[in-house]
Structure 1
Amino acid sequence: MIELDAAVKNEVDKVTEVSQYLWQREWAERNGGNISIDLTDIYGNATSNSPVKQLPFQYPSSCANRIYYVKGTGQRIRELRNADYAGCILKINNQASGYQILWGGAASDSFAPTSEFISHVKILEAKRAAGSHHKTVVHTHPLELIALSHHSDISKSSELFTYACWQMLPEVRAFVPKGIGMIPYCLPSSEELADKTTESLLDHDVAIWEKHGAVAAGDDVLQAFDYIDVANKGAKLYLMCLASGFRPEGVSRQDMETLKQEFDL
């Protein structure tokens, strides 16, 4: 197996770090959750003798010849402690219809990227087209955010869901400044879910898949994780108040507006 360039290895090492956070928090049962990174700008010239494998969907034409790190289908987040076992670096072909594995994928001869890879690629390509510096996508199953998405009133809109989390702690308002997008339940791994998530993450820091999980993009894996981690803290505090028998008073909208102005959020 080829030796990774230092810049690429640094990004892959962050995947290993975050994967263990997700597992320790019980956010990644069995093979739940995924991580992807667009490595195109730092990987350099890439060639491979590995066979071209077909993708299950036609991918956006703009991702042709781009290079990504991605977790494998059926692989466990906790197994990303060995990033070349449960994940791989692959290159999309020039028709955006197939890929070649450049590095990793050691878990099996039939190794393939996660079925949610199309969601990640669409998000990253939309971010790139919008001029964003975001290069990575994290999808995981944060317990309290999922629990709150079952709340029949709060889950009705992105605004209600965002406010429920923002009001619990000034840091949630400060570090998830674009809020949380609420996506009504869709079939996992569907193109409908991919498209709705892409649209949501152009306007929000975190997207919630109702009754399923959360997705965030970031400059790197650590930033994407932070968005979800901080948002989940808001959801956890809200649920703790309800479990204690009272509805939280919360930080007032006026105080949150003052916070926004003071910190230029």
Structure 2
Amino acid sequence: MKFKDSKYVEKMSEITNELYKHGWDERNGGNVSLRLTQDEVDQFDDLDKTLRNIPIKFDATPLAGQYFLVTGTGRYFKNVHNYPERDTGLVRITDEGNSVDLLWGFNDGGEPTSEFPSHLMTHINRQKVDSNQRVVMHCHPTNLVALSFTHELDEGSVSRLLWKMQAESLVVFPEGIGIIPYMTPGTNEIGQATADKMNEFRVVMWPHHGIFACGDSMDEVYGLIETVEKACMIYTAIKSQGGDILQSITDDDLRDLAKSFNVTPNPNFLSMQPINN
């Protein structure tokens, strides 16, 4: 079986197209990486040689030998489903950790996304938390970015706000949402700050820019981002209707939700004093 016909390439094409259609990955904004296991790679008969070696600006030694299907730098998500072998690539982290071996894709000379070091830093930290987590996704959800301009950038306040916008929020991201300061994208500094937050959270806001999220599958991470953005969209709609909240989900409601769905909300956030929005 050829890798281009695999379910992994198919899912990457589907998800990147959905992200684009939502308006979260304009132009060449956004990137996705999926970790594959050795057994998953071994089932394909066209991944037995290195096409070329690509340097990376990060020491990824802790991930040496691991495989990642990743979107390319400068690539438009609206094109991935038509040109997956050009706009994505399967790479293996070398033993030295400072480069990757390209096994498939990037057939026009392309390279992994400029945010690949940030992805790898998150993969390193999340594997320590949950070895099943294998996807990192970055995009620019409109209402989440807007919220970062108008709301205090406090993790507890933002998390509680989004929990109270819809019942699904607490169930999908009970640990809340992490927030880093505004930082220049494409740098190792923003990658490390994000990875540090990923020790506690599966979703991190990049103020005035976008979101970083991780999980077990592309569907799960897409759904996580979708849920966060829906909560932000509801808040945007409330503000556009005048901003007066006459009734809402209470803290006791949140506790009942947590009990019913067997999730553990971040206790530091649930016990905070009520906020005025």
* Same fold flag (TM > 0.5): yes
CA distance in 2: counterparts of 1:33 and 1:58, whole angstroms: 19
Deviation at residue 90 of structure 1 after TM alignment: 0.9
Q: Which amino acid aligns with 1:261?
A: K
What secondary structure sits across from 1:208 in the alignment? strand
Deviation at residue 34 of structure 1 after TM alignment: 0.2
Q: Which residue in 1 is equivalent to 2:59? A: 59
Q: Residue by residue, what CA displacement relative to the aligned partner does 1:40-96 show, whole Å, maximum 9, x if unpaired?
A: 3421395424232221x1323111121111111101112220321210001121101
CA distance in 1: counterparts of 2:50 and 2:15, whole angstroms: 31
Deviation at residue 11 of structure 1 after TM alignment: 2.3
Q: Which residue in 2 is equivalent to 1:139? A: 138
Tell me which stretches of 4 or more aligned residues in structure 1 moved more than 6 Å.
Answer: none
Q: Which residue in 2 is equivalent to 1:209? A: 206
**Residues 258 and 129 (structure 1 numbering): CA distance in 2 closer, same or farther, change over 3 Å?**
same
Q: Which residue in 1 is equivalent to 2:77? A: 77
Larger mean CA deviation between 37-46 and 246-255 belongs to: 37-46
Q: Which residue in 1 is equivalent to 2:94? A: 93
Q: Residue by residue, what CA displacement relative to the aligned partner does 1:79-130 show, whole Å, maximum 9, x if unpaired?
A: 2203212100011211011112111112x22x11111001111111211123
Instruction: Report if aligned partners of 2:51, 2:104 keep a CA contact under 8 Å in 1.
Output: no
Deviation at residue 173 of structure 1 after TM alignment: 1.4
Q: Which amino acid aligns with 1:58?
A: F
Mind listing any 5+ residue stretches in structure 2 that lack a counterpart?
Answer: 264-277
**1:74-223 pair list within 5 angstroms:** 74-81=74-81, 82-106=83-107, 108-109=108-109, 111-153=110-152, 155=153, 157-223=154-220
Q: Which residue in 1 is equivalent to 2:272? A: none
Deviation at residue 242 of structure 1 after TM alignment: 0.8
CA distance in 2: counterparts of 1:226 and 1:29, whole angstroms: 19
CA distance in 2: counterparts of 1:33 and 1:243, whole angstroms: 28
CA distance in 1: counterparts of 2:4 and 2:24, whole angstroms: 30
What secondary structure sits across from 1:75 in the alignment? coil
Q: Which amino acid aligns with 2:99?
A: G
CA distance in 2: counterparts of 1:76 and 1:117, whole angstroms: 16
Deviation at residue 5 of structure 1 after TM alignment: 8.7
Deviation at residue 250 of structure 1 after TM alignment: 2.7
Instruction: Report if aligned partners of 1:161, 1:182 keep a CA contact under 8 Å in 2.
Output: no
Deviation at residue 19 of structure 1 after TM alignment: 0.9
**Residues 247 and 61 (structure 1 numbering): CA distance in 2 closer, same or farther, change over 3 Å?**
farther
CA distance in 1: counterparts of 2:234 and 2:105, whole angstroms: 40
What is the RMSD of the two structures over their aligned residues, measured on CA atoms? 1.7
CA distance in 2: counterparts of 1:22 and 1:121, whole angstroms: 21
Instruction: Report if aligned partners of 1:177, 1:205 keep a CA contact under 8 Å in 2.
Output: no
What secondary structure sits across from 1:58 in the alignment? coil
What secondary structure sits across from 2:144 in the alignment? helix
What secondary structure sits across from 1:52 in the alignment? strand
CA distance in 1: counterparts of 2:10 and 2:146, whole angstroms: 31
Q: TM-score, normalised by structure 2?
A: 0.88
CA distance in 2: counterparts of 1:50 and 1:37, whole angstroms: 20
Corresponding residue pairs, total = 257
CA distance in 2: counterparts of 1:80 and 1:116, whole angstroms: 17
